[in-house]
Structure 1
Amino acid sequence: MRIGWQTQRPNPKHASARLRVHGPMALLEARGHECVLYDGARAPDGLDCIVISKSFTSAAHRVLDRADAAGVPVLYDMCDNLVAKARAEGDDEAERRVVSALGRAARITAPTPELLDRLSEQVPGVPGQVVPDLLENTEFLAGLRPSLAERWRLARLRRFLARHQDALHCVWFGNSSGAQAGLVHVRERMPELEAFAKRHPITLTIVSNTWLAYRRMAPEFGIPTHYIGWSLAAFLPALRAHRVAIIPVGRNSFTLGKSINRPATALRAGLGVVADSLPAYRELEDFVPIDDWQGGLWRYASNWPEERDRLAEGLDHIDARYGDAHVADLWESAIRETSGRG
């Protein structure tokens, strides 16, 4: 098959582009399919299917119009509940734009059953399929060479951690989505970290692209914190400078459909995880603490060798369930169903 892909943010520095565009394209090409980026500037001649990755720009609508005119089916891939986000922000126009575009799709894919269920309620009548995120390719990330500026930022991080060498070094990484997800939930869980600090020294590093939001919140934090701007080449070494990834997540209509990607990325980087419970995280309960902040942090501070063995079992679990071959099978199935070649 020949498959066109359209996304608003094709740069692989974005996780959605790496894990739900470039990664799947590479896997499908390895199976003999032809995958090309397609922006609707010309007719979709020769394309059997078009995949739009959570894009609702004018380019996405141009692609939809071209596809309709040429009779090429469109698969809309959604890794976030943008309808719920628009509703929470009171943005009626954004909600109408998303619902209208999804309603024109032949099929919708999403990384979790929870997200797919919510989208099915918001856009009834469009068939859907769960296609999990690919696991983050840590070998690829490890092969990137940080720039001079990135090396300087990493050196600053190491100096910060060295000043607190007896502490349990924790890290939070990700983007922020206002009141829906991100640093707002770090702030909500800060009392847990502050309570733990009375028992054992602890630090927190923020790896993100939200410097101003961090600066506004940082004076409230009662433990040593450090900020390092997110970049693709520095991401993995920044993570590996720590022992534990904390993943605080408030439960709302936007976050409930989130995938296992974040704890899986931490496990693949060799970190422990302490997280709030989301539906996608529950399968990791045998391997990492879920909804147990004090007990979980103490486990990593006091018994790291035993925890590393448990984390290795968790890594085997996610590799078995979300390995490249399995996810490629699901992408291939979804695209064949969309194109009518299932």
Structure 2
Amino acid sequence: MTITQLYYVLAVAENKNFTKAAEKCFVTQPTLSMQIQKLEDELDILIFDRSKKPIELTEVGKKIVTQAKNIVNESYRIQDIVDQQKGFIGGEFKLGIIPTIMPTLLPMFLKTFIKKYPKIKLKIEELTTEEIIARINDGHLDAAIAATPLEHDTIKERVLYYEPFVGYIPEHHKLHNKQKINISNLDIDDMLLLEDGHCFREGIINLCKAFKNQVDEQFQLESGSIETLIKLSDEGLGMTLLPYLHTLDLSEKAKGNLHHFEEPSPAREVSIIYHKSELKMQIINALYDVISSIIRGAIAFQNVKIISPLPNKNSH
């Protein structure tokens, strides 16, 4: 039994197709099929039910795949040990970032990080929290930046910063003349929100729920982007809440519509998250150090109340 054979098994289990798996592994299909056949012969069982389309794992195959993931992961750790011994911080690193963090945080740290660690090949993808968790668990992401706490057994979280919510309240809105707003002022039916699937949306719903027992989720309008929310708000369709970093690049006119909360400000916790197997920790630590040192200059808020991004959760 070889690690290569197990790696091929994982590729077929994921792609449910021998040809696609061979392409992903950069080998010919006969080579991949032969190695998996050898493994099945050695174990005297079938890992895959080839009569099904797409190919399915047998019951014993499912158990083998679970164990194979652990073995392949542990084999990567040997390279990790060598890299750390040599003090090498480089190689490919796959990072996921949620959509409400990507456009503001990425330009803040990317240039500095690339300059400081030129040997790291960063591959960055914008993904929802749900996609991020699945990909970290499947080994397709090395780490991610997301709103936490997420309460997942397999995932570790390391807090980068706390980002306050800021009210965006246009003129002619009943709350526009209030200098500072309170959570109790918020009316969910008058709130423009992001579409379902965004954890920032869940945070706002949880924030409103903290003060109102009943939340009628009949929102007037939802959008895929924060920029659109601001435009809709300017059209007089309601107020919205923005993550603090999104307020820094607004025009002076738009900044006149910003209203901060009375302290403690409601805020989201933003963390770097990664698998509990802790692979590529030297790169994760490098990312953490660069981002947290840059963010310290941008967010000076201390007195905050963390709002959970989990559906149906009240504030932590």
User: Do both proteins adopt the same fold according to a TM-score greater than 0.5, normalized to the shorter chain?
Assistant: no
TM-score by length of 2: 0.32
TM-score by length of 1: 0.30
Counting strand residues as a fraction of each chain, which structure ranks higher?
2
Counting helix residues as a fraction of each chain, which structure ranks higher?
1
Structure number with the bigger relative contact order (C-alpha 8 A, sep ≥ 6) is 2
